[in-house]
Amino acid sequence: MRWIFAILLLLVMACSIDTVSSLDENIAAETDDLWTENDVVRDTITDSRDGKKYEVVKIGNQWWMAENLDYVLDSSFCYNDELDSCEIYGRLYTWDVAMNLDRRYLTDNAFYYEQVDSVHQGICPDNWHIPTKSEWRKLIEFMEFHNGDEGSGTSIRTPYGWVTGMGEWADDYSHKVPVESVNRFGFAALPGGARATRSLTSCNCYSYEDSRNNLFCGHAYFSFFWSATEDYSYRNNTNYAAFVTVNGMMNSGGVYIYDNPDKSKDWAKSVRCVKN
């Protein structure tokens, strides 16, 4: 009996592996077409609150803003407090402001207190909302299936404004960098950086070596985008929100979703809205 059970177990395992393998092959077959400029569908929307126009782009079955939100609110910031920066990179918002919530939810869990809608508009224009972590993941997965293995970082970045491979700053907005940034899907991620509330070096949002607080960091190296998804760290006793990072120094895997309690909600980051 024991050997019969062993054979049956092996057969079940073999069937399970084949099923997963076949599923992966089917997904790849349906989604591995290389996306080109001819596949990009663009449009524009107007924010009725201030009349600003934004380019939007369809990626898969999602419509995304192809520019960072630049809606003026208290507790929103231009990089280095320079207005010209907002014209290029949009504004930086703390999580509570991006979600249009009371400031108490910088520390309290808004989801627990039923303050977060399943489709949460936040400060996005009407009919658009702050993307959840799963919506960001769907975008990244679509890019990775349609970019010919060039790397999600290559696919999502604009071909200008980013630091070059030699580590030189691309201060001129029109400065061209190598083809590692091709903006294949029209998302047009720009390295707008962040405004942090912890001591760190001015050019690296992940290195804590500076003596100052409320420091702008990451321009020309990183994009940071908020999500509407919260979590709680028992280790840090901290409520935090997931966010997306685009790393200008990496091509393969250069787009990440971070669940990081060390990067708290009071950091100011960019906002991209997705259509309802």
Please identify every stretch of the chain with a pLDDT value under 70, giving residue numbers as ranges.
Answer: 1-32, 164-180, 201-203, 208-211, 234, 236-237, 251-253, 260-263
Q: Give exposure, 88-98, as e/b (b: 16+ Cβ within 10 Å).
A: bbbbbbbbbbb
Give the model confidence (pLDDT) of 49-81 as tens digits. Answer: 999 999 999 999 999 999 999 999 988 999 999
In this structure, are residues 135 and 128 in contact, taking their beta carbons and an 8 Å threshold? no
| Cβ within 8 Å of residue 239, ≥6 positions away | 105, 107, 108, 109, 230, 231, 232, 233, 265
pLDDT (0 to 100) of residue 164: 56
Give the model confidence (pLDDT) of 104-119 as tens digits. Answer: 998 888 887 889 888 9
pLDDT (0 to 100) of residue 152: 87
pLDDT (0 to 100) of residue 202: 64
Domain limits of the chain? 68-275
Collapse the DSSP code of 55 into the 3-class scheme (helix H, G, I; strand E, B; otherwise coil) and give the result: strand
The residue whose two tokens read 């869990």 is: 109
Tokens of residue 136, six digits = 């960001």
C-alpha separations of 180 from 33, 81, 120, 164, 170 in Å: 20, 30, 34, 10, 14
pLDDT (0 to 100) of residue 124: 98
In this structure, are residues 232 and 243 in contact, taking their beta carbons and an 8 Å threshold? no
